[in-house]
Structure 1
Amino acid sequence: MAGTGARYFFLFLVGLVIGAVASVMGMRALQARQDPFPDALMHVQQWHLGQLKTNLEANRCNATDTLPHFAALRSTADDIEAAFPENRDDARFTKAAGGLRAALDDARANPPLNCPSLGKTMETIGGACKACHQDFRG
């Protein structure tokens, strides 16, 4: 009787391992079908905003410290509609993306020269991001 129980337990463990392996393989297959571009774009923009915040906290608010991040943010903002083609025809989405580009154009044309003005510029950019995220972030 103990031998039968041990066999059933062994088969249960084998089934559990095979199920776990099959689940991981299935999840990897689904993940491989997803386009990484939208998430990558948002991660890059978030990183540059984080660098600006770090500069602000470290009192490094000169134009030479902020302009490279504004330029990178502006460059990646051109790809927002391409990254989210399902929202490309939505007027709210294009308005929010245009608002972000306008805020970044203004930040590059009139770079903040001190920390209080960098804080205000970051609030404007953050507001432009929030306008889109409120309606479209999943």
Structure 2
Amino acid sequence: MSEPRTTRPDTHGNGAKYIALLLLGLVIGAVCTVMAMRAIQARSDPFPGAVMHVQGWHLGKLRDAVEQNRCATTDSLPHLQALRVMANDIDPAFPDLRDDERFTKASSQLRGALDTAMASPPGDCVALGETAGAIGQACKACHQDFRG
């Protein structure tokens, strides 16, 4: 007589199920994170950042003109005009700072530097470099106090 055969229980693990659940959880977490970030972004006002970004771009173009020795008034005047127009938007872009004396002084200094540049536009690279430096200093004065 032969011995009865014992059946072994199925020893396949559940690892594949756990990995699938882990991957599903990661995908759901990523989707929820993106949705939350978009909701937070939708609540923020892009205007202050946009004003600073546009001004930085125009100031960069003035500095590039000096480096490239393209300092004719016709090259720099459009950027100076755009900077001056955008300088009018600084105070409305940061309404919670309008009562801060340092902020209003810095924004006034920027407008003053731009008014001076517009009254007598720089015609050579030395003058344009000085003008860009004065505008940059006015920006720096505000950024030292208020930029995070």
Q: How many residues align?
A: 138
Q: Which runs of 5+ in 2 are unaligned?
A: 1-10
| Greater shift in the superposed pair: 18-27 or 59-68 | 59-68
- Mapped partners of 1:41, 1:65: distance in 2: 22
Percent identity over the alignment is 63
SS in 1 for 2:71: coil
Q: Give the alignment's Cα RMSD to 1 decimal.
A: 1.0
SS in 2 for 1:112: coil
Q: Which runs of 5+ in 1 are unaligned?
A: none
- Mapped partners of 2:121, 2:25: distance in 1: 62
Partner of 2:77: 67
Partner of 2:146: 136
Question: Which protein is bigger by CA-based radius of gyration?
Answer: 2
TM-score, normalised via structure 1 length:
0.96
> What amino acid sits opposite 1:81 in the alignment?
D
How far did residue 61 of structure 1 move? 1.0
How do 1:28-67 and structure 2 match up within 5 A? 28-67=38-77
**More helix as a share of residues:** 1
Partner of 1:6: 16
> What amino acid sits opposite 2:112 in the alignment?
A
SS in 2 for 1:2: coil
> What amino acid sits opposite 2:118 in the alignment?
R
- Mapped partners of 2:73, 2:29: distance in 1: 56
- Mapped partners of 1:2, 1:13: distance in 2: 20
How far did residue 27 of structure 1 move? 0.6
How far did residue 18 of structure 1 move? 0.4
- Mapped partners of 1:83, 1:3: distance in 2: 60
Show structure 1 runs of 4+ deviating over 6 A.
Answer: none
